[in-house]
Chain A
Amino acid sequence: MGTLKKQKMVFILTALLVPISLLIAFVIVPGLDLFRISATDWDGLSQSYQFVGFQNYIDMFHNKDLWGSLKNNMVYFVIHLLMIPVELMFAVLLTSKLRAAKFYKTTVFLPYIINGVAISYAFSYFFSPINGAFNAILETMHLSGLIRNWLSDAGIVNYVLAFVSLWRFSGYHVVLFMAALQSIPQDIHEAALVDGANPLQIFKYIQVPSIMLMVDFILFDNIRGALQVFDIPFVITNGGPGYASSTFTLYTIKTAFTFSKFGLAATMAVAIMFMIILIFLIQNILIHKVVLREGKKR
């Protein structure tokens, strides 16, 4: 028995050695190192740097462009949030009896799979001011009055980019909702039908309550995703014009790699990390309360 136990420990130790070392070296240590860098004025290149205490944190709070960028993140968040009921509707639709459902299921998830950079360029073309496809669509619909400079008008560029983000990620949520809906035991559904429930009642009393955990996940994913929006604005507008379509992450990355202010950028990274962890905790508490309340009802 003793040798078996020893064998087991040796196996565990040798097998986990490399994966855990990699995790610590390339994920955990850099993650924690952000805190240290955030207290310095490091430029990303020099061997030497000064510790500046909380100066970066003070600078961050006074940085108008950064907070303007965070406001842009809100646009992505709200627009995706508003779409969640529509995504749920599509999930219900695609799991119901429907001709060509398989084809639609394939299509709805396609944007999530395609190369994000290619998509971003395709949309740059779609919204381009000269000979752009979207303006041509407006013209054929006799809506030429609506034609704008979609990607260089500071007032609307964010909504345009958020639309691209919707185009790309909505299918992901539909698929997750579909998976949750399909995991509802069939007999509950049938029992409700026998009892004479109509589709709306089934949706309200059976489907929605059984997918609450998925709703929870999608809400969190939406917040996390909205806070980290990066590649769509980076490729399409590079945050411009000015900082009109910049996002928190984009601004952070620029601060580090374009303006060589790694210390300040690390401070912003710490801020994003805190926001995500905070939201994760708040949501966990909320959901557990909701779940607990459900438990009391029964």
Chain B
Amino acid sequence: MRKNVTVQLIKQVFCIAMVAIVAAPIILTLFAAFKDRADMVNTSPLLLPPLSRITWENFRTVLTNKYLLLGFKNTGIILGISLVFNVLFGTITAYIIERFQFPFKKIIVGLFFFGMLIPTFVTEIARFKLISGLGLYNTLRAPILIYIASDLMQLYIYRQFISTISASLDEAAIIDGCSYYGVFGRIIFPLLAPATATVCIIKSITIINDMYIPYLYMPKSKLRTLTTFLMNYANAQQGSWQTLAAGIIIIMIPTILLYLFFQKYILAGVVSGAVKE
């Protein structure tokens, strides 16, 4: 019995150390966000300022920045439209690949697989030309199109899920005179709702956190997203860590909240999106 207690204790020590390492940079940034310029110099970075001197001024400065609001708006628009099409195309493509045999199927599945293998960052060298050629440079349509067309992880989540739905369901509906669109729209799509929740949440986190695509394709200040807002804000705040710290914390909040509320879906989705087939 005593040995058991010791083992439990050692386990707890490891876990608490892990929590400390995860939390330290975030908590210390939060401390800085509560300090004014003088306290940044006078108090230890490891401590909160004296309680009476805690200031909300830094948060106020960031929150009243008009580009933050624009960032929320632009991120929201990009996110909403991308999600709708990701779900629509993801479900229907996965359904067809899972259920039907058709000519060139192997080639089409191969194309989707190849699409996952191409490294995203460097593809932009070629994609950039295409996007500007289509006149989409510095428009919200550029990131939306890219998010819809690339990053195909939803296919794997949907395919796994569809393979658990009995095919006799579709057959029965077809015999009863339902069209294929009907089967998909009225039977399959609703049944996929849990997978759709997972896909939406994971995609949301990816899109909200993405820096590269908006940075590359939308330098215009009116088109800032949450992430590019933070990058511009950081450049403008050179050396004044306390206001930047407040910015960092504010940008972290949306995805942390999403994570805390929808953990179950996120973990399930990350696992099924990673382990293909």
Contacts and interface: CB of A to CB of B under 8 A. Distances in A.
Interface in A47-88: none
Contacts of B245: 122, 125
A260 to B, nearest CB: 11
Contacts, number: 250
Contacts of A125: 25, 28-29, 32, 241, 244-245, 248
Interface string B93-129: 1001000101000001001101101111111111111
Main secondary structure of the interface of B (DSSP, over half): helix
Contacts of A27: 115, 118, 123, 149-150
Interface stretch (A151-159, A187-195, A268-276, A285-293): A268-276
Interface size class of A (residues with CB under 8 A): 35 or more
Interface in A89-132: 90, 93-94, 96, 98-100, 104, 106-119, 121-123, 125-126, 128, 131-132
A37 interface: yes
Interface in A250-272: 252-253, 256-257, 262, 265-266, 268-269, 272
Contacts of A272: 119, 122
B266 A28 contact: no
A265 B245 CA distance: 35
A206 interface: no
A118 B210 CA distance: 11
Interface stretch (B15-23, B50-58, B161-169): B15-23
B46 A133 contact: yes
A240 interface: no
A273 B11 contact: no
A28 B115 contact: yes
Contact of A276 (B96, B117, B128): B117
A28 B251 contact: no
A131 B181 CA distance: 63
Contact of B121 (A33, A100, A133, A253): A253
Given A24-B111, A136-B45, A252-B122, A121 B180 contact: no
A8 interface: yes
Contacts of A167: 21-22, 25
A123 B252 CA distance: 13
A146 interface: no
B180 to A, nearest CB: 4
23 contacts: A7-B179, A16-B108, A23-B111, A23-B115, A26-B130, A34-B126, A94-B15, A100-B12, A113-B266, A116-B211, A117-B209, A121-B234, A122-B26, A123-B25, A133-B24, A133-B28, A133-B46, A179-B275, A221-B274, A256-B125, A257-B216, A268-B122, A269-B126
Q: Which 10 pairs, one residue from A and one from B, show the smallest C-beta to C-beta distance?
A: A269-B122, A26-B149, A11-B180, A30-B126, A22-B149, A33-B126, A19-B89, A133-B45, A30-B127, A179-B271
Interface of B: 8, 11-12, 14-15, 18-19, 21-26, 28-29, 32, 40-41, 44-46, 89, 92-93, 96, 100, 102, 108, 111-112, 114-115, 117-130, 145-146, 148-150, 152, 174, 179-181, 184, 205, 208-209, 211-212, 216, 226-227, 230-231, 234, 241, 244-245, 247-249, 251-252, 255-256, 258-260, 263, 266-267, 270-271, 274-275
Interface of A: 4, 7-9, 11-12, 15-16, 18-20, 22-31, 33-34, 37, 44, 90, 93-94, 96, 98-100, 104, 106-119, 121-123, 125-126, 128, 131-133, 136-137, 140, 167, 171-172, 175-176, 179, 213-214, 217, 221, 224, 227-228, 230-231, 235, 249, 252-253, 256-257, 262, 265-266, 268-269, 272-273, 276-277, 280
